[in-house]
Amino acid sequence: MKLTISALFLALACVATAQAQSSKLYTVVDGYKVDAETMKGFRTWRAAACDRCHGANQEGMVGPSLIESLKVLSKDDFVKVVRDGRLEKGMQSFGNSKQVMDNMDQLYAYLKGRSDGAITRAKVEPAP
């Protein structure tokens, strides 16, 4: 009986995981092995040096914690603030950065994964 119940729970957990995965912008294993697109997002984050103001772990410095921001900011608002900046408040504009503009979705996916708590380490690696 015990065995049956734990098998049932295991089955349910698998279904829940599969559903969560399919609706996701990113895939991650072990908290830091990510898919190729999310890797591009991380490389863009590094190349654009967002960490200078938002911190290496996105937890905020001069700029706010993006872990917190992305829990409430819509994707559209994210794109707008990254593209146009909020110059008077110290957030620069990346509309002229080809790398950022070309990898906006990937950058969002990476940061969303961090904000969701699914990507547990800022420095990610390609999934094998």
Residues interacting with ligand HEC, by CB under 6 A?
A: 48-50, 52-54, 62-64, 66, 69, 73, 78, 81-82, 86, 89-92, 94, 100, 107
DSSP reduced 3-state for 74: coil
**Closest CB to ligand HEC among 28 and 66?**
66
Q: How far is the CB of 118 from ligand HEC (least distance, A)?
A: 18
Unique residue bearing structure tokens 């408040």: 89
Residue 83 near residue 93, CB atoms below 8 Å = yes
CA distance readout (Å), 81 to 3, 7, 13, 75: 52, 47, 37, 10
Residues 38/118, Cβ–Cβ less than 8 Å? no
Compute the least distance from the CB of residue 71 to ligand HEC, in Å. Answer: 9
We find the least distance from the C-beta atom of residue 51 to ligand HEC, in angstroms, to be 8
